[in-house]
Chains A and B, each alone.
Chain A
């Protein structure tokens, strides 16, 4: 399987333990907080403006997951920690959070598909966020083993580089929707840039074909 890469430098025991950990629990563990979040929103347990709180938190969680996914390769190459077996789950969780974020925005916030579409077309920060989500669509659609086999590892990896512009668009979306130049979204944008740039650093070893 071309998309898993054995780590080479982490301590053998940690590597063994990680390799025994299954990736599947990531999915239920990631869905539970969303159920919890919506329950809190619907029952008035999440602050004074529940729609805003739920919508913003889902967006933030998606950004966290995307950044975590981007951190996998630098962690392996620079820290010798191999979390590659979790990367597909992390990416799909990010996509799931984004879909929840979009639905919350369209149904509970903007309240209507016509109004949502008007915002997507007319409001740059919405356009930017939506573009980021659309870029992730083919990635989610080709996240199963059969897709990798059919496309071939090289084409699949090339396609999945779309995650770089997608994360950057997501972080820019965050910067744009705040009033004034606020520190928090700028830090996330900076982190995204660093994590993407880290892939293109020379490693000293043979150049890695796997980014």
Chain B
């Protein structure tokens, strides 16, 4: 992969990042299979060049943007973020990317827009996992506009100083570090500004287990397991679990987004 230049960011954690092998070898990308190792085995089939992102809905400049055009004018930063999966494991990932707000400002958000909808590539001939209806395809996700505009929310195009590996959502993916990992949709082909709350795949599959917001919250258990603690991937056989932090530890930047909301009901 080609090397990327990126500047450091004040939003990065000091925690030791996971290895590239852990980050690419242990992840969920159901388009390539449901095993954590499937993305590393199969995502190489995905054509990521050429790539374009269709930006539409309530924007001033809708259109199909080539990847290079999406990146134009955006300064790349390294963002070393904690990632907390809804399955109660976590990692520290040195993403390279730019703030989603930068792109949204460039395409012009109309005043009536309240949400941002995202869609992953759906190409069954290159994505063996999509040949069976494990979940509805294509994978879709959404954010409220203020969440999308938060400086923590980035579109990542790289990892460890190089272009994003295919298992991690090449060539461009969303990263929302205070939400469970599945909100950070991979291999984005479509971004749509909407007035109404857009559908989100896991929320559609099982609304009791996966809310639209899906903020990391140790106080709100998943119905099938506790969210109070997490396994930091790479700790080995005898590693103790670590306590999960509310908003994955990013509360100082994002807690105010949810003022007045009951997060146990709007989870």
Q: Spell out A's residues near B (CB within 8 Å).
A: 41-42, 44, 47-51, 54, 108, 111, 115, 118-119, 123-125, 176-183
Flag if B237 contacts A50 (CB, 8 Å). yes
Flag if A119 contacts B226 (CB, 8 Å). yes
Given the known A-B contacts A44-B237, A108-B238, A178-B34, are A49 and B132 also in contact in the complex, defined by CB atoms under 8 Å? no
CB of B262 closer than 8 Å to a CB of A:
no
Given the known A-B contacts A44-B236, A48-B22, are A180 and B205 also in contact in the complex, defined by CB atoms under 8 Å? yes
Chain A residues, CB < 8 A from B231: 49, 51
Flag if A123 contacts B224 (CB, 8 Å). yes
Flag if A48 contacts B26 (CB, 8 Å). yes
Which of B21, B202, B234, B237 has its CB near the most chain A CB atoms (within 10 A)? B237
- Which residues between 191 and 249 of chain B lie within 8 Å of chain A, taking CB atoms? 202, 205, 223-226, 231, 233-234, 236-238, 240-241
Chain B residues, CB < 8 A from A119: 225-226
A to B CB contacts below 8 Å, 8 in the list: A47-B26, A48-B21, A48-B26, A49-B231, A179-B34, A180-B30, A181-B133, A183-B132
Bound CA–CA A119/B134 (angstroms): 26
Given the known A-B contacts A123-B224, A180-B34, A183-B132, are A48 and B237 also in contact in the complex, defined by CB atoms under 8 Å? no
Bound CA–CA A180/B224 (angstroms): 13
CB of B135 closer than 8 Å to a CB of A:
yes
Closest to A47 in B: B37
Given the known A-B contacts A48-B36, A49-B89, A119-B225, are A111 and B240 also in contact in the complex, defined by CB atoms under 8 Å? yes
Given the known A-B contacts A108-B238, A125-B224, are A49 and B34 also in contact in the complex, defined by CB atoms under 8 Å? no
Flag if A123 contacts B225 (CB, 8 Å). yes
CB of B25 closer than 8 Å to a CB of A:
yes
Q: Spell out B's residues near A (CB within 8 Å).
A: 21-22, 25-26, 30, 34, 36-37, 87, 89, 132-135, 202, 205, 223-226, 231, 233-234, 236-238, 240-241
Flag if A182 contacts B134 (CB, 8 Å). yes
Bound CA–CA A181/B132 (angstroms): 10
Chain A residues, CB < 8 A from B34: 178-180, 182
Chain B residues, CB < 8 A from A118: 226
Bound CA–CA A177/B241 (angstroms): 20
Flag if A48 contacts B226 (CB, 8 Å). no
Flag if B226 contacts A115 (CB, 8 Å). yes
Bound CA–CA A178/B36 (angstroms): 12
Chain A residues, CB < 8 A from B132: 183
Q: 3 shortest A-B CB distances, which residue pairs?
A: A48-B26, A180-B134, A50-B237
Flag if B233 contacts A49 (CB, 8 Å). yes
Chain B residues, CB < 8 A from A179: 34, 87, 202
Bound CA–CA A178/B87 (angstroms): 10
Min CB gap A23→B, angstroms: 33
Chain A residues, CB < 8 A from B135: 180
Bound CA–CA A111/B88 (angstroms): 14
Bound CA–CA A183/B133 (angstroms): 10
Chain B residues, CB < 8 A from A177: 224
Min CB gap A92→B, angstroms: 27
Bound CA–CA A42/B238 (angstroms): 8
Min CB gap A131→B, angstroms: 16
Bound CA–CA A41/B240 (angstroms): 15
Chain A residues, CB < 8 A from B240: 111
Closest to A178 in B: B34
Bound CA–CA A44/B30 (angstroms): 26
Closest to A177 in B: B224
Min CB gap B107→A, angstroms: 33
Chain A residues, CB < 8 A from B30: 180
Bound CA–CA A47/B38 (angstroms): 13
Chain B residues, CB < 8 A from A50: 236-237
Which of A41, A111, A179 has its CB near the most chain B CB atoms (within 10 A)? A179
Closest to B201 in A: A180
Flag if B237 contacts A51 (CB, 8 Å). yes
Chain B residues, CB < 8 A from A125: 224
Min CB gap B81→A, angstroms: 19
Flag if A49 contacts B224 (CB, 8 Å). no
Bound CA–CA A47/B35 (angstroms): 12
Given the known A-B contacts A177-B224, A178-B34, A180-B134, are A42 and B237 also in contact in the complex, defined by CB atoms under 8 Å? yes
